[in-house]
Amino acid sequence: MSSTKNERRSVVIDLTDKLALSPDAAFLFQNDLNARASLWEGLELLYQQTRQLEQLLVPGKLEGVTSYVWGNIPGAPLQVLRRASCFFDWYSVSACNFVSLTGWIAKSAGIAAETESVYRRRVIPLVLVHRNKIGAHTSRVWPHGDGIATQESSNFRQLALADDRLVANYMVLSRSGGGQSSSSHALEPWSLTETHETLRHRYIADPVA
């Protein structure tokens, strides 16, 4: 039988968890799936921009050699690194929206038991913390009970080059005084490009390297 433009098809929304919408459910959630597709395109763009910068900074990886650079990264003007730090912020917000929407669709369609918030914390825990304390609003402005070290770290935007990947939140800041101490350990380091490559395998049937 020949297909038509109105033919309904099932849609896999999570390959790792084996979450698939029936044709009727996919039709019901088509607007949400379109929004999800738009978010993914934005994430792909941020990945490509960041990966290109990483490859410029590390044109060739020497076998058996691991390098870590924090602060002034050779070959990377300050303006470029400032832009890259924004990539991490934008990525964290859009990635949380994408993963949350996926979890919400799955729960609403009855193909998953966990809520979107539980699903989001499970899939991208480090990105979620970055989004909550830096990307969407800084802890410095909206501390919500965070210690002074986390507050100050949220505006300390230096990226590190760990081997061949740019990494956010690489440094742990500690503060002490007046009989109290705090640490920014809640802001764990994460790589935008490694995170996205992992998400590709979860959500894209034939991920492009």
Q: E-strand spans in the chain?
A: 11-14, 19-21, 68-70, 160-162, 165-168, 174-177, 180-183, 190-191
Domain boundaries, the chain: 11-202
pLDDT tens for residues 92-107? 999 999 999 999 999 9
pLDDT tens for residues 172-185? 778 776 667 777 77
Prediction pTM value: 0.87
Q: What pLDDT band is residue 156 in, cutting at 50, 70 and 90?
A: confident
pLDDT at residue 3, as a whole number? 45
With tokens 């968890």, the residue in question is: 17
**Short-list 21, 201, 37, 199, CA closest to 106:** 21
Average pLDDT estimate for 113-139: 95
Dist. CA 99–CA 120, nearest whole Å:
6
Average pLDDT estimate for 41-69: 79
Dist. CA 195–CA 114, nearest whole Å:
22
Q: What pLDDT band is residue 59 in, cutting at 50, 70 and 90?
A: low
pLDDT at residue 5, as a whole number? 53
With tokens 């998953």, the residue in question is: 112
* pLDDT(209) > 70: no
Average pLDDT estimate for 18-24: 97
Proportion of the chain above pLDDT 90, given as a percent: 57
Higher per-residue confidence, 207 vs 114: 114
**Short-list 48, 45, 17, CA closest to 201:** 17
**Residue 75 burial (CB count, 10 A):** 12
Dist. CA 105–CA 125, nearest whole Å:
19
Taking the CA of residue 131 as centre, how many other CA atoms within 13 Å lie in the half-sphere pointing to its CB? 19
Dist. CA 166–CA 192, nearest whole Å:
7
The DSSP string of 72-124 is S-TT--HHHHHHHHHHHHHHHHHHHHHHHHHHHHHHHTTS--S-HHHHHHHH-
Higher per-residue confidence, 29 vs 65: 29
* pLDDT(27) > 80: yes
Sign of torsion over alpha carbons 151, 154, 158, 163: positive
Burial 168-196 (b: 16+ CB within 10 A, else e): bbbeebebeeeeeebbbebbebbbbbebb
